[in-house]
Structure 1
Amino acid sequence: MQSIRVTQPAELLATVPYILGFHPSDSLVLIGIRDKRLHFAVRAELAECRTHPQSSARHLAAVLVRQEVDGAVVIGYGTPEHVNEVTAAMRRAALDHGIPVVDVLRVTNGRFFSVDCPDADCCPPEGREFRPDTSFIAAEATLAGHVALPDRATLTRSIGAAEDPDGELSRATDRAESRLIAILEQIGGHEDLVVTSTQLLMTALDTHRRGQFLNEDDATWLSMVTLVTEVRDVACQLIETRPEKPHIALW
């Protein structure tokens, strides 16, 4: 996504769906900040984090450390009963790993709440209503060709075939998501991901140029990694500089 200036929580929250590719719900989202810029984002299922809040938080904090961020925003999507324990554990884990937490936000029923803001005029106890689809962030992202699908299930259905009667597509998506997190946990993982994903893009185009197709795991993985800004930028550059037909077949 092109550079967009974000100065308020509502603007940051409006950006998240375009980073992830869908509007999150029942989720824990971490935004990693480096040099006052959004550097990294990762999402986890809230239900999994609730089951093991401390270990999940330590795991995600380690991911932030390996991405060499100098700050983080913790965002919980769900009811207070489901979110508060998870975001509190995440804050403690981030601080234990030496990562300052800029803000902790909760999104519930179309309203957002800031845990850290003491100003009732700025962050009233009843929260603030926000509609990410009607924000200037959404307008700029849409103009640039980015899409935020309604939810993760829609994203899953959009990857590959429209029908998934045996659930293999859902399992492939889960494998790709786990693989992505595992790579990003490693030191230098983000940079390695961009390099290997660029190679996969080239291979995929060559495959489709020959009239062949990627297998389900490779196709799902390619769809997953193009959520990473640098990989998506490479894909756009290739569309502009390579013959059109393989791109149509691939995407």
Structure 2
Amino acid sequence: MTRQKKRTQRRRASSARRGGVVAPSGGRSTTSPPRVKVSTPADLLGLVPYLLGFCPQESLVVLLIRDSAVLLTARVDIPPVEATVPLIEQFAGLAERHKASGMVLFAYSEDAASARELVEGLVAGLERHGLLDALYVAADRWWSLMCDQACCPAEGTPYDLSTHPMAAEAVFAGLTAAPGRSAVEALVSGPPADDLDRLVEVSRQVSAELVDLGLAERQELMAAAVRGALVHPQPLSDADCARFAMLAADVQVRDVAWALISRADADRHVHLWGQVVARTIAPFEPAVLCLLGMAAWISGNGALQNCCADRAARIDPTYSMTGLLEEINQRALPPSFWDAMST
């Protein structure tokens, strides 16, 4: 397996969100997460897409719980049965590191036999680590693999996310869920091919504006541009996006923008850098993808953070800030950790 593939798998194995009773959705500041009361694992099933930020498919999801609150949500592409032992170690390590009192597993797959075998192995290894329940989910039904009572019939329990009461509560609380991970990936895929020639010409014009500026001038320009975009959140022009991208290509200028992100306004930085990523051409993508990924992490949007890191690594696996995003994912660091990093 190549180094880049290993990095991508590790990032996907730790897409995480945090919050109160439920984690904040993308674009919502983690300083005041919405709270939705649940009473059963079936209730949590209705919230999983809102905890992740998208509706999972062929996925294994773990929720860590402490003090009757969802502490952390993590997702992996559903692995083969051979990955059972490493997953037990990974999930048990997360539970220990975050002092979780319990966890709940959800396996989403159309391959019932393989998914059930995987989850049964995980149940055997994780019960001593506080596993509360493990649900297999397929199409419009779910099964608890830790319950053999009448409440969990052999034919499964029907559910419909579109009418699930917990989903309705999540929406009312301001949480959102994309149709799938591909919808989140599309947000960071860059400009359409038909626009590239025009964007190249725009970049040439902007480059001529910046070429004679020294480092201090470019740092001041970046700071002023970011602050202005936050105070007056108007749609950015292609020239604006090119200017942000070219300035961010210099690490010392990029870090000025990075340092301006706070948990209180992280969602506004997500909006800003999301626009820039959508209009940025080669070779300027890694820096702006990482700035968007950092803003997404600080805002509590683990799905967007992960997609940014994945695309940045595909473009340039040696880019240092991508490695930092990877470490954040691997250690499942909460957005509150940014407070310590930025002081």
Q: Which amino acid aligns with 1:64?
A: A
1:18 aligns with 2:50: yes
Match of 1:112 in 2: 142
Matched residues in 2 for 1:3 and 1:99: separation?
26
Matched residues in 2 for 1:155 and 1:32: separation?
23
Say which of 135, 150, 161 aligns to 1:132: 161
1:76 aligns with 2:124: no
Matched residues in 2 for 1:3 and 1:38: separation?
10
1:89 aligns with 2:121: yes
Q: Deviations over 1:52-78 (max 9, x none)?
A: 221122122211211110111111111
Matched residues in 2 for 1:163 and 1:125: separation?
48
Q: Which amino acid aligns with 2:146?
A: D
Q: Which amino acid aligns with 2:295?
A: L
Q: CA 1:84 to 1:160, structure 2 compared with 1: closer, same or farther past 3 Å? A: same
Match of 1:181 in 2: none
Q: Which structure: larger Rg?
A: 2
Asked whether the 8 Å contact 2:103–2:131 carries over to 1, the reply is yes
Asked whether the 8 Å contact 1:14–1:133 carries over to 2, the reply is no
Match of 1:30 in 2: 62
Match of 1:63 in 2: 94
Q: CA 1:163 to 1:24, structure 2 compared with 1: closer, same or farther past 3 Å? A: farther
Match of 1:192 in 2: none
Matched residues in 1 for 2:181 and 2:190: separation?
16
Matched residues in 1 for 2:264 and 2:168: separation?
31
Match of 1:54 in 2: 85
- TM-score w.r.t. length of structure 2: 0.50
Matched residues in 2 for 1:6 and 1:141: separation?
11
Match of 1:149 in 2: 178
- Summarize the alignment of residues 99-248 of structure 1 with structure 2, pairs less than 5 Å apart: 99-120=129-150, 122-159=151-188, 161=190, 163=192, 198=262, 205=269, 215-225=288-298, 226-227=300-301, 231=335
Q: CA deviation at 1:221?
A: 3.8
Q: CA 1:197 to 1:60, structure 2 compared with 1: closer, same or farther past 3 Å? A: farther
Q: CA deviation at 1:163?
A: 4.5
Asked whether the 8 Å contact 1:30–1:41 carries over to 2, the reply is yes
Identity of aligned residues (%): 24
Asked whether the 8 Å contact 2:35–2:173 carries over to 1, the reply is no
Q: Which amino acid aligns with 1:59?
A: Q
Secondary structure of 1:59's partner? helix
- TM-score w.r.t. length of structure 1: 0.66
Asked whether the 8 Å contact 1:201–1:222 carries over to 2, the reply is no
Matched residues in 2 for 1:33 and 1:92: separation?
19
Asked whether the 8 Å contact 1:160–1:219 carries over to 2, the reply is no
Q: Relative contact order (alpha carbons < 8 A, sep ≥ 6): 1 or 2 greater?
A: 2
Secondary structure of 2:162's partner? helix
Q: CA deviation at 1:129?
A: 0.9
Aligned length in residues: 196
Runs of 4+ in structure 1 deviating by more than 4 angstroms, as ranges, are 162-165, 199-202
Matched residues in 2 for 1:164 and 1:21: separation?
27
Q: Deviations over 1:186-231 (max 9, x none)?
A: xxxxxxxxxx9746966x85xx69xx88611221343355226x85
Q: CA 1:199 to 1:18, structure 2 compared with 1: closer, same or farther past 3 Å? A: closer
